[in-house]
Amino acid sequence: MSESSRLSGEVFYPDPVAAAAAHVPDHEALRAAAAADPLGFWAARAAELEWYKPWDKVLDDSNAPFFKWFTGASTNIVHNCIDRHLSGPYRNKLALIWVGENGTDHQTFSYFSLNREVTKMANVLKAMGVGKGDRVTIYLPRIPEVVFAMLACAKLGAIHSVIFAGFSADALQDRIGDSESKLVITADGSWVNGSVFKLKDIVDEALRFSPTVENVIVVRRTGHEVAMDPLRDHWYHDLTALPIAKGPCATEPMDAEDTLFILYTSGSTGKPKAILHTHGGYMVGTYTTLKYTFDIRDEDRWWCTADPGWITGHSYLVYGPLLTGATTFMFEGGPTYPYPNRWWQLIEYYGINIFYTAPTAIRSLMRFGEAWPNRHDLSSLRLLGSVGEPINPEAWQWFHRVIGKGQCPIMDTWWQTETGMFQICPTPSLPLKPGSGGKPFFGQEAEILDEAGQPVADGEEGFLVLKNPWPAMLRTLYRDDERYVKTYWSKYPGKYLAGDSARRDKDGYFWIIGRTDDVIKVSGHRLGTAEVESALVSHPAVAEAAAIGLPHEVKGNAIHAFVVLRLGHEPSPALAEELRKHVSIHLSPIAKPDWIDFTEKLPKTRSGKIMRRVLKARALGQDEGDTTTLDE
């Protein structure tokens, strides 16, 4: 019997003493209670937070799928992340611990000093004319200012759009243009494995065609020479020295349904989608899921390794932890620089209690062997977490045994940019099955459907749908209601289509298999085949391109691109390398294809659609399936 099949049949039962002390001591009992009254469940959670004005209605579903939560209520997520903590026992508690890539830069912020920094940045933004509803693009490395910037926007009621600082100028320009941002917050550069990555140069290039941007704020991080446009660009440290930065700044009262942020994510077709989240529901959803699933306690130090450029960073590095009054830890660097013990060293040094990361990172660290983690005392850890892609049982087992010393339950959380918060996940009182995220969160129900919309039998694969609305759900796609309805609510009316295939076992546990659309998860990052293809086609030698994801031991999936060359260009290893680089520069290094295959022709349907499914089957040497529509 193989290692994986033995493990996938295994169940890890919670330690009864630890489970009994958790926020959710009896998972099934709470699930049953919440199922009987989901809105009552959510209203009670919302009541744990502060509102300037209470809601009239918990859920307004009169215009589904445009759901509204906590209608009539007024709040601001920053009031609950910061303001309310200032008058209570959390005032002097550490809100944020930050460590730089070099290991020597280090800053800590109590809730009091986080408020000081956020207020300063909000004052600066306000002086630059940023107000309620304005869009601000944030393109920053993992430094404290990214947290200040997000919260400062929210405090003023402005809408932030954070772009992962690994995206290229083209990608940045598209997103700035689509959101019509009036201000960009960036840094001179970021540190990547000891070298400077020149962020400001990328912003300069992106802004050549971004007419809406009036001002750029530049945080000094790397200290290298950068060009500054005297009319447009401002050093952040110069601005904060001005009188405009001083004094208090009121937190803007927001309607619960007012927009908090938009976040671009890859979809199956065309340009990235701007997922829209709101102040009220997102606040209640991220607060509740983090508190219950990761059982946050006052004394905990929480580390989510995600970048704020992705939803995991938004919900569980910034907003969720501050809402629960936790101490959130942020590290600028990656896990293997300068040595593969970097994360383990930080866990030991800072006494991290709960550690939330991605399967791809675990797989890559496994390759360096157990000696690296074993050099460190990891006994502060109480709980572990996984997100972004299915975790294979081998990686689960290694994480559990080597990092958690067999003592720490692993919370495998399934969710999406769209869902804003966990949807399928355990809590410390649910028995765990390695590779499964367990059951839908309290108040939620999920189903596995066949093509015709009928539930499939237990154990069979099908389309994953969510049945109930939830507070942190996306409200729409920014300025594209039609695409919102079409993408998520039209295949099975009344049910949210996740875009994943999955199965449910006889115990009601869900097992995610992978995407059913043209989204590829590479090292947990979400990329669209269409984006990779358009980056390839922008190269003068390329006539047509198709990208697919193929299984990869560490990255989960790796990109394999098929390219048809224009007349006069010959295939060569040098050209393949050039094209890989081209994607890296024009989209992102994370989107760089692992393989380029030159081909004469791409398999297409008679209507001209590329059949990526056929390419994938051929690459894997599998049956091509139904090819009756193939035009060959």
Distance CA 263, CA 273 (A): 8
Q: Is 390 in the site for ligand WTA (CB under 6 A)?
A: yes
Q: Which stretch binds ligand WTA (CB under 6 A): 59-67, 152-160, 287-295, 493-501?
A: 493-501
Q: Residue 327 corresponds to which tokens in the numbers above?
A: 């101490």
Which residue's structure tokens are 């009552």? 40
Question: Of 157 and 420, which CB lies nearer to ligand WTA in the complex structure?
Answer: 420
According to CB under 6 A, which one of 162, 296, 512, 548 is a site residue for ligand WTA?
A: 512
CB of 28 to ligand WTA, least distance (A): 21
Q: Is 285 in the site for ligand WTA (CB under 6 A)?
A: no
Binders of ligand WTA among residues 209 to 268 (CB under 6 A) are: 265
Dihedrals φ, ψ of 402, to 5°? -85, -40
Q: Is 42 in the site for ligand WTA (CB under 6 A)?
A: no
Amino acid at 22: A
Name the residue whose CB lies closest to ligand WTA: 417
CB of 568 to ligand WTA, least distance (A): 40
Distance CA 597, CA 571 (A): 9
Q: Is 414 in the site for ligand WTA (CB under 6 A)?
A: yes
Q: Is 148 in the site for ligand WTA (CB under 6 A)?
A: no
Binding mask 265-284 for ligand WTA (x = CB under 6 A): x-------------------
CB of 463 to ligand WTA, least distance (A): 12
Binders of ligand WTA among residues 603 to 622 (CB under 6 A) are: none
Site for ligand WTA (CB under 6 A): how many residues? 23
* CA-derived radius of gyration, the chain: 24
Q: Is 463 in the site for ligand WTA (CB under 6 A)?
A: no
CB of 171 to ligand WTA, least distance (A): 15
Question: Of 73 and 276, which CB lies nearer to ligand WTA in the complex structure?
Answer: 276
Q: Is 327 in the site for ligand WTA (CB under 6 A)?
A: no
| Cα atoms in the 13 Å half-sphere on the side-chain side of 37 | 8
Closest to 124 in 3D by CA, of 142, 148, 141:
148
393-419 burial by CB neighbour count: b if 16+ within 10 A, else e?
bbbbbbbbebbbeeebbbbbbbbbbbb
Question: Of 322 and 512, which CB lies nearer to ligand WTA in the complex structure?
Answer: 512
Q: Residue 74 corresponds to which tokens in the numbers above?
A: 């007024």
According to CB under 6 A, which one of 60, 117, 348, 412 is a site residue for ligand WTA?
A: 412
Distance CA 583, CA 349 (A): 39
Q: How many CB atoms lie under 10 A from the CB of residue 497?
A: 18
Distance CA 477, CA 486 (A): 11
Q: Is 387 in the site for ligand WTA (CB under 6 A)?
A: yes
Q: Is 509 in the site for ligand WTA (CB under 6 A)?
A: no
Distance CA 329, CA 94 (A): 10
Closest to 140 in 3D by CA, of 184, 81, 181:
184
According to CB under 6 A, which one of 115, 173, 286, 413 is a site residue for ligand WTA?
A: 413
Q: Is 526 in the site for ligand WTA (CB under 6 A)?
A: yes
Question: Of 125 and 512, which CB lies nearer to ligand WTA in the complex structure?
Answer: 512
Q: Is 161 in the site for ligand WTA (CB under 6 A)?
A: no
Question: Of 413 and 427, which CB lies nearer to ligand WTA in the complex structure?
Answer: 413
Q: Is 388 in the site for ligand WTA (CB under 6 A)?
A: yes
Amino acid at 488: Y
315-353 burial by CB neighbour count: b if 16+ within 10 A, else e?
bbbbbbbbbbbbbbbbbbbebbeeebbbbbebbbebebb
| Cα atoms in the 13 Å half-sphere on the side-chain side of 105 | 15
Q: Is 321 in the site for ligand WTA (CB under 6 A)?
A: no
Please state whether 31 falls in left (phi above 0), alpha (psi between -120 and 50) or beta: alpha
According to CB under 6 A, which one of 68, 273, 515, 582 is a site residue for ligand WTA?
A: 515
CB of 57 to ligand WTA, least distance (A): 29
508-544 burial by CB neighbour count: b if 16+ within 10 A, else e?
ebbbbebbbbbbbbbbbbbbbbbbbbbbbeebebbeb
Distance CA 442, CA 40 (A): 11
Question: Of 291 and 521, which CB lies nearer to ligand WTA in the complex structure?
Answer: 521
CB of 392 to ligand WTA, least distance (A): 11
Q: Is 487 in the site for ligand WTA (CB under 6 A)?
A: no
Contact 3, 398 (CB under 8 A): no
Q: Is 420 in the site for ligand WTA (CB under 6 A)?
A: no
CB of 288 to ligand WTA, least distance (A): 16
Q: Is 311 in the site for ligand WTA (CB under 6 A)?
A: yes
Dihedrals φ, ψ of 334, to 5°? -110, 180
Can you tell me whether residue 477 is helix, strand or coil?
strand
Which residue's structure tokens are 């600066």? 124
CB of 390 to ligand WTA, least distance (A): 4
Distance CA 403, CA 397 (A): 10
According to CB under 6 A, which one of 416, 423, 476, 529 is a site residue for ligand WTA?
A: 416
Q: Which stretch binds ligand WTA (CB under 6 A): 12-20, 115-123, 408-416, 598-606?
A: 408-416
Q: Is 291 in the site for ligand WTA (CB under 6 A)?
A: no
Q: Which stretch binds ligand WTA (CB under 6 A): 234-242, 387-395, 400-408, 557-565?
A: 387-395
Strand order across the beta sheet in which 496-504 lies = 446-449, 462-466, 496-504, 510-515
Contacting residues toward ligand WTA, per CB under 6 A = 265, 310-312, 386-390, 412-417, 437, 498-500, 512, 515, 521, 526
